[in-house]
Amino acid sequence: MGILSAMTGQKNKSIINNNNSSQSILIPAPLEAHQIKAECAREATRAGFKAAAIASVIATVTVIGGCRVNPWAKANLNYSAQALLISAATISSYFITADKTILECATRHAKYDASKYE
């Protein structure tokens, strides 16, 4: 088991510097990896929710406005179809944004981990 780097105050610092290679005496605890994953999941959920809220407002305005103005849409898109269009836009924006955020977070932490072994 390792000492949590947050407890020791050595989060982004290394203790030993050998010319161009930096190594840390501290071993990352398994709890740290779990905390990083949980932080990435929270960040992705928050970003996805924000994107879904914005997309739902934009989709609602355009779908309802289009159904009131466009004669074809007024005749062929009932309330269920309108709700389906709005929810599809909302759900897709949530998952796309959450996926991008998780990949960004994983890349950020992979670069941080790779810099320790150079």
Give residues with Cβ within 8 angstroms of 82, minimum separation 6: 63, 64, 67
Q: Look up the pTM and report it.
A: 0.67
- Which pLDDT does position 31 carry in this prediction? 73
Cα–Cα dist 86/78, whole Å: 13
Q: Are the C-beta atoms of 21 and 44 separated by less than 8 Å?
A: no
Q: Which of 97, 83, 84 is nearest to 54 (CA)?
A: 97
pLDDT tens digits, one per residue of 17-38: 444 455 667 666 677 778 888 8
pLDDT tens digits, one per residue of 30-77: 777 788 888 999 999 999 999 999 999 999 999 999 999 999 999 999
- Which pLDDT does position 37 carry in this prediction? 85
Q: pLDDT higher for 103 or 111?
A: 103
What does 19-78 look like in DSSP terms, one character per residue?
A: TTEEE-SSPPPHHHHHHHHHHHHHHHHHHHHHHHHHHHHHHHHHHHHHHHH-HHHHHH--
Tell me the average pLDDT across 92-117: 84
Q: pLDDT higher for 12 or 29?
A: 29
